[in-house]
Chain A
């Protein structure tokens, strides 16, 4: 357990100093919300598109794609800076490395989630109808599942020649059904005040987190097998 925390703290300390991932995820998220603002400007002004519909879908597009940018770098940086082997030489199970990386990814992606929620509120002048906390809770549940799947696929793709392409190819189909669709639905339910429905969706999202977390924990040893 402590090795997981030490690895996550190391990653976060390096990220806070270099700001490589955070700055690109932050900019991407800001640009995405701005793009949605301009794309839906007329529909939003005329009332054709409701803020609830726009928020639930566009927020999750921002979260997911910002997360892909962040998770791609988590192993690629270790590989390119030739520190990955140093980690693999540590006397800990590979699954510990998986959970440590997933934890640091979760913190970074969740920070970007919060910023995206704020940007959306700012650019759409939308206060989430008093359900902002519920949206944050759904973001946390969905992001947990997202990083558990993303960290695993990032590790699988890190040694591939076309790793930039391979990660989204592996990740997007997996998260479409386990994260994006249920999270969009849960966010919409929460914004409409249908909490029972939202809780049901969150349960299924967390179920996927348990399944993918267990798969990652069990197979991670084999990913870096020489």
Chain B
């Protein structure tokens, strides 16, 4: 379980996050939506320990990540705007590198690495360099990279971007499997249909705060779609 408690972030005088409270439980998929500039990516960066909050705290399994960020990174997988993979390495070498950097035993890699590439539909290209991959294939490799150490928390910033329909289906299935495994998943997306099909809850981030939360039932009823439509007219009602 990952939790943001009163997280605020300032860049100089500009306040990007203003006391965000958000919790993603074990085996739960929470969608985070909001207009551009609402602070979604900043929040993901803070939750992943890439940024420190100006105030507030991030708890993972009830413990503050400030105590030992490098230890907590072991439990977090991140899919960001960039793939964080190396063009000059093959898909398998990329995963092997991140496997090693996570301190996992080299002997166990082959089965896990190849298995993961199979799950993201890249098994047939595992020995090709990432530089020859299409944007969608790189995105799938990025998702495999984020999952290589079987994280307990998955933070995904627009994971469906650049994916074709087959890629979307693969990632959709992966998320369901990870939820079943007990992984806490925070999903930043503007795809309301995807949220409708996947999310257990949707939180709306607006002007640096979680302004409204929709549970699974409200999402199914279509409250989220109606609320989202009003966002451009001055905020969620």
Q: List B94-112 residues whose CB lies under 8 Å from chain A.
A: 97-98, 100-103
Q: Pick the residue among B72, B87, B98, B103 that contacts A81 (CB under 8 A).
A: B87
Question: How many contacts A-B (CB < 8 Å)?
Answer: 70
A85 touching B101 by the CB < 8 A rule?
no
B89 touching A14 by the CB < 8 A rule?
yes
CA distance A92 to B48 in the complex (A): 14
CA distance A6 to B109 in the complex (A): 14
Q: Pick the residue among A82, A225, A226 that contacts B84 (CB under 8 A).
A: A82
Within 8 Å CB of B231, what residues of A?
A: none
Q: Pick the residue among A91, A225, A226 that contacts B103 (CB under 8 A).
A: A91
CA distance A225 to B49 in the complex (A): 9
The closest CB in chain B to the CB of A97 belongs to B101
Q: List A41-87 residues whose CB lies under 8 Å from chain B.
A: 81-83, 85-87
User: Shortest CB–CB separation between residue A83 and chain B, in angstroms?
Assistant: 6
CA distance A2 to B70 in the complex (A): 16
Does B145 lie at the interface of the complex (its beta carbon under 8 Å from any beta carbon of A)?
yes
Q: Pick the residue among A3, A83, A92, A93 that contacts B86 (CB under 8 A).
A: A83
CA distance A83 to B145 in the complex (A): 12
B100 touching A89 by the CB < 8 A rule?
no
A91 touching B84 by the CB < 8 A rule?
no
How many of chain B's residues have a CB under 8 angstroms from any CB in A? Answer: 31
Within 8 Å CB of A86, what residues of B?
A: 82, 84-85, 98, 145
Does A88 lie at the interface of the complex (its beta carbon under 8 Å from any beta carbon of B)?
yes
Q: List A105-136 residues whose CB lies under 8 Å from chain B.
A: none
B52 touching A226 by the CB < 8 A rule?
yes
Within 8 Å CB of A93, what residues of B?
A: 70
Within 8 Å CB of A200, what residues of B?
A: none
Within 8 Å CB of A83, what residues of B?
A: 82, 84-86
Q: List B25-84 residues whose CB lies under 8 Å from chain A.
A: 45, 48-52, 70-74, 76, 78, 80, 82-84
Q: Pick the residue among A7, A14, A85 that contacts B50 (CB under 8 A).
A: A85
B73 touching A2 by the CB < 8 A rule?
no
CA distance A3 to B51 in the complex (A): 22
Q: Contacts A89-B76, A226-B45, A226-B51 known; A18 to B88 CB distance under 8 Å?
A: yes
A89 touching B78 by the CB < 8 A rule?
yes
B100 touching A82 by the CB < 8 A rule?
no
Supply 20 further A-B pairs (C-beta < 8 A) apart from A6-B97, A86-B145, A92-B70.
A3-B101, A3-B103, A6-B100, A6-B101, A7-B101, A10-B86, A10-B97, A17-B88, A82-B84, A83-B85, A83-B86, A86-B82, A86-B98, A89-B48, A89-B50, A89-B84, A91-B74, A91-B103, A226-B45, A226-B52
